[in-house]
Every structure is written in structure tokens, then in C-alpha cells.
Chains A and B, each alone.
Chain A
Amino acid sequence: MGYQFSIHHAHMSSGMIKQGRKLENKRISRRGFLKVLGGLAVTAGAAAVFWEMWRPKGGPSPTRTLKPNVYTQNGKSLVSIVKGNSDTDIETLVRRAVDAIGGIGKIVSTGKTVVIKPAVLTSDPNCAPDPVVVAAIAKMAKEAGGTVIVAETSGNGDTAYNLSKVGITLAAQDVGAEVRALPSEEEILIEVPLGTKLTTVKTYPTVYNCDVLVSVPRLKRHGSTAVTMSLKNMMGTVPQSEMNRLHNVDLSQCIADLNTVMKPDLTVVDATYAMAGQGPTGGEMVEMDTVMASGDPVAIDMVAAERLHKLEQQLGIASFDPAEVRHINSAAALGVGTNNIDDMTIIEESIS
């Protein structure tokens, strides 16, 4: 339809078109040519758009088994609780807490990629762990020979802005760590083989493909899940669209399911100041001068939840039942860790 043959060829003498008769016959007009060109361009454009929309974006990767906890003693999960006072250097607290369970050298060696995942919900510094805690862990991992990346997806607002606003960007870069806002990366779809409600989930390659994952939450209360610490922190490894979906499905169970594929090798809970009463924003900041560490995210969440519960009782704030925190219990049932105090060895230290 786009071709318009010249009507002039019939009047031309055969001698004039000796060499190019066939070509002459198929001559198309300028208009016809441009039409065809335009049509091709539109088709190519549409095809490119559809390909971009429907092409498979990295299908589910091979199944992943639960990583074992390396910080154990006689088969029991080690949890350290180091308490100082208001004058204690926070870096010292972090170092003592990690060294008490066996040191960062157990998981980090030369050439390993270490991703530190702070819990930065908003640009409010009270919501995020202390930048000094993040920097201290980054420093320790670097000393052990690792390449350190601080990565996060904020639930609220722009991740890069939030990270710099709470001071983590500067603190981490000072000690030579890279800071990555995950939403700028391309999402990948992964399978959750052990998941009960969650079968697949989108995440980012930085957190999924790293050698060592370190979870760094602050000890906080949470409106719907009672507490938000290491297990809930892993919600920040998925895109915001997935966070929304998880709330629609079943939040507590999804947190537990997610932790079967995103299990941190080490968790350091910043309880220098804890958020009591309500959370994850707007709660009362209570000074505890404590840093906890463990290789078992369930165990440390359980211990920390009990400490927070005790603290709230002392302050006379309406509290929660640590034994009834659904995501901790579900994660324990899935084998992410243990929520049974008898299966933990709690190391308490006090620095004065």
C-alpha cells in the first residue's frame, strides 16, 4: 500500500531505460518512500517498547539454603550485650560486642564484599542507627580485609537523601565504605523456597549477591509488629512496591519468609538510645548505652525485645509481650534462628 509506482515509465522509450528497466518499474515516489520509512520506524519503536515491557528480567535464581550461624558455642547461638555509660565511646561498645561473640574475622576475610544494611526509615536520625555504629562496623570489616558497601532502601522518602540526612553517608565514606541507595539499581526476582506466604520476591543484586550481610537496626518499638530490629530490617532490602505487597499479604509471616533468603551473617543492634512506647517513628528516646551483637537474627531480636519490654515496664509505658511477637516466632519456626532462651548463650559485659 505504501508503494506508488511511477506512471511515467509506460511513455518512456525502451532505449532510454536499457540498463535500469527493472528498477525503473519499481520506482517509488518520495512520498511512498517516506511513508515506508515512517512505518518502519513506528514498528521498530513499538517493538522496542514492548520488548522493554515484557522481556524477562532475570528469572528466579537458583534456590538458596539457609546460611548457618557461625557465631555459636556448643551449638548455642551467642548473643552479646555490652553496656557502657553516657561517656563511653560508641565505637568501643560496638567493638566489644562483636569481639565478645568471636570477632568480625569469623565472617570477613580479604576480598569479601560486606554489605552493611542500616535501618533508615526516614530522614529522622532517631529512626536510624547511630552513624558511629555503622562506621565502626565498616571500619572493622575494612580492617579484616573486606570491601564495604552500606546499602539501604528507605520506606519513606528518598533513600540517598535520608542516608545523608541522618549522617550515615558521611560517616561511612569517612572510613572508606561505599554508600548505595538501592532503588537506583535494577531489581531482580528471587525465589523464596522456604517461604510459606512468600514464594518470590523482588530485591537488589547488591544485597543478594554479597558475601557477608550485616544488619544494623536500632532497638525500636513498632506499631504493627511490636518491635523492629534485625528481622524487620530486612524489609529494607526489597523495593518499595514489594514493601506494599508484603503488607497486603501478611506482614509478620512475610518478614519471616524474607529472612530465609536474606539472612544476615551478623546483627549489631544499636541500643545506645532505644525508641520506646511507640514506633518506628515518634517514640520516646530512652538512653540505654548498650550495643548487642549476634550471628542469629532471631535470637538477638528475642533478647532485645525482652530488654525493651523490661525497659518499658520500668518506665511505666504500655508494653507488649515479647513471647507473642509473631515475626520472631514465625522466623524461628522456619529455622532462621532460635527464639528459645535455653538455646542461646548470652554474654553480658559492662564497661565503666
Chain B
Amino acid sequence: MRITRREFFKLLAEGAAALGILKIASLIPSWARMDIVRPPGAVEEEFFNSLCVRCAICLEVCPTRAIVLADFQDGVSAVDTPKIDPITGPCEFFRGRCEEVMQCSKFCPTGALQLADRHGVKMGTAELSPDRCLAYIGKECVVCDEMCPVPEAITLTSDLKPVFNGTKCVGCGICVYHCPAEPKALTLRPEGAKRTKWLK
């Protein structure tokens, strides 16, 4: 499989062009999405992609496998950076194995994830879709309320339907992970996230 000199230069040019397009694409704000649910110690989104070296150590050390790698849907510049997927695992930064030390932040070599006090972190907000929620369609289920580690983030109405308080929610995704409805009645959105300040 020999290639000619001409073909070789053509490939080289194509590669350079692709890299260039990716770089330009990452500079277009609407292409670099700012709404990704990041691991608990993440710095603000505008610095995150520059600080993260895509080593995926956070993904390796996460005890619950809550961290997955972002793909093109999360923006070109975010490819291979860590994001939280509560379907694969709940983040236990607020209660559980990481409540004392967040493992992802502890092992992050670049400071894209920084050790933070768990009470100052909000990863996002859980949102309820009543049309899929078992309690709203007449079954006995308050699993989200049972599992929620934050007092008063989820309250029950008198007829036992969960009501979410977005300001109390820390966005750990434990409720999403445990929601028994199919498809899940809960989604974890990045709205209201409180991140670690990188530039003090």
C-alpha cells in the first residue's frame, strides 16, 4: 500500500484543515456548550476545557462510575472531558463514599477539579417530569425522597407526591440513579450549578 508524494501531501493538508476547523469550532460560543454537569469539584466552565488534559483519571477513580467522557454532543471543545451521567452512577460527594474527600478532585493532576467543601458545591438541579413519575401516575413510590441526602430538597405532598426544591438540591443525581420509573422520571440538569472559583 504505497502512496504517492501527491497523496501524502493531500492527507497532510486534510489533517491540518480538520484540526483548524475543530479549533475554530471550539471558539464559537454556541458550539462550546456551557451546560454540562461536571464532577463536584469542577472549576467554572469557561476555564474547565482549558485546564482539563483529558487524562480520564477522574473516571478511573470514581467509586460509583458516575463520571463518563463527554462526546461531540456536549460541544466540540468538551470532547473527552469528564461529565456526570447519573444513569450510570450516582455522585456520592454529599453523602456516601466521597463525602469526606472527593476522589475525582483528589486525583485530578491539573486543578480542573479542585477539592472543595461539599456544602459549597452544587453540581446542577434534578428535574421531575410528573407524566412519568410513578407517584403521579398512582403508584406507591417515594424512592427519590428516600434516597435524597439533602434535607428538604424533596418534600412530599399530603397525597405522597414528591415536590422538588431546586434551590436546596445539590445535583448529586442519586434520585435520578434510583428512580425506578422507565423511562426515568428525573433528569439532572446543569442549571444553578455552583462551581469552584479558579481565578480568585
B95 contacts which chain A residues (CB < 8 A)? 122-124, 157
B96 contacts which chain A residues (CB < 8 A)? 122-123, 157-158, 161
A111, CB-defined interface residue at 8 Å: no
Interface residues of B in 125-159 (CB under 8 A from A): 134-135, 139-143, 145-149, 151-152, 156
Interface residues of A in 250-276 (CB under 8 A from B): 250-252
**Which of A23-31, A39-47, A278-286, A343-351 is near enough to bind chain B?**
A278-286
Chain A residue nearest to B99 (CB atoms) is A123
User: A247 to B141, Cβ gap below 8 A?
Assistant: yes
- 25 A-B residue pairs with Cβ-Cβ distance under 8 Å, sorted by A, are A122-B96, A122-B147, A123-B95, A156-B174, A157-B97, A158-B64, A222-B146, A223-B160, A243-B180, A244-B180, A245-B180, A247-B134, A247-B139, A247-B143, A248-B139, A248-B180, A248-B181, A251-B141, A252-B140, A278-B156, A280-B146, A281-B147, A282-B151, A282-B152, A326-B140
The 3 closest A-B pairs by CB, nearest first: A223-B142, A244-B180, A247-B180
- The 0/1 profile, CB within 8 Å of B marked 1, for residues 145-163 of chain A is 0000000000111100100
User: B140 to A251, Cβ gap below 8 A?
Assistant: yes
- The 0/1 profile, CB within 8 Å of A marked 1, for residues 159-186 of chain B is 0100000000000001000101110000
Q: How far is the CA of A44 from the CA of B14 in the complex (A)?
A: 41
User: How many chain-A residues does the 8 Å CB contact rule pick out?
Assistant: 27
Q: How far is the CA of A281 from the CA of B156 in the complex (A)?
A: 13
User: A223 to B139, Cβ gap below 8 A?
Assistant: no
User: B146 to A250, Cβ gap below 8 A?
Assistant: no
Known: A155-B178, A223-B160. A251 touches B146 (CB 8 A): no
B63, CB-defined interface residue at 8 Å: yes
Chain A residue nearest to B141 (CB atoms) is A247
B85 contacts which chain A residues (CB < 8 A)? none
B45, CB-defined interface residue at 8 Å: no
User: B140 to A247, Cβ gap below 8 A?
Assistant: yes
Known: A155-B178, A280-B146. A224 touches B140 (CB 8 A): yes
Chain B residue nearest to A248 (CB atoms) is B180
A161 contacts which chain B residues (CB < 8 A)? 96-97
User: How many chain-B residues does the 8 Å CB contact rule pick out?
Assistant: 29
- The 0/1 profile, CB within 8 Å of A marked 1, for residues 61-87 of chain B is 001100000000000000000000000
A331, CB-defined interface residue at 8 Å: no
A128 → chain B, closest Cβ, in Å? 13
A308, CB-defined interface residue at 8 Å: no
B142 contacts which chain A residues (CB < 8 A)? 223-224
User: B147 to A156, Cβ gap below 8 A?
Assistant: yes
User: A248 to B182, Cβ gap below 8 A?
Assistant: yes
B141 contacts which chain A residues (CB < 8 A)? 224, 247, 251
A121, CB-defined interface residue at 8 Å: yes
Known: A247-B139, A248-B134. A224 touches B181 (CB 8 A): no
Chain A residue nearest to B145 (CB atoms) is A223
B140 contacts which chain A residues (CB < 8 A)? 224-225, 247, 250-252, 326
A278 contacts which chain B residues (CB < 8 A)? 156
Chain B residue nearest to A326 (CB atoms) is B140
B174 contacts which chain A residues (CB < 8 A)? 156
Chain A residue nearest to B146 (CB atoms) is A280
Question: With A155-B178, A281-B147 given, can you name 8 additional A-B contacts, CB distance below 8 Å?
Answer: A158-B96, A225-B140, A244-B178, A247-B143, A247-B180, A280-B146, A281-B149, A326-B140
Interface residues of A in 236-250 (CB under 8 A from B): 240, 243-245, 247-248, 250
Q: How far is the CA of A62 from the CA of B70 in the complex (A)?
A: 48
User: A250 to B139, Cβ gap below 8 A?
Assistant: yes
Which of these, B134, B152, B156, B180, contacts A223 with CB under 8 Å? B156
Chain B residue nearest to A223 (CB atoms) is B142
A240 contacts which chain B residues (CB < 8 A)? 178
A135 → chain B, closest Cβ, in Å? 24
Q: How far is the CA of A223 from the CA of B155 in the complex (A)?
A: 10
B91 → chain A, closest Cβ, in Å? 11
Q: How far is the CA of A161 from the CA of B181 in the complex (A)?
A: 26
Interface residues of A in 116-151 (CB under 8 A from B): 121-124
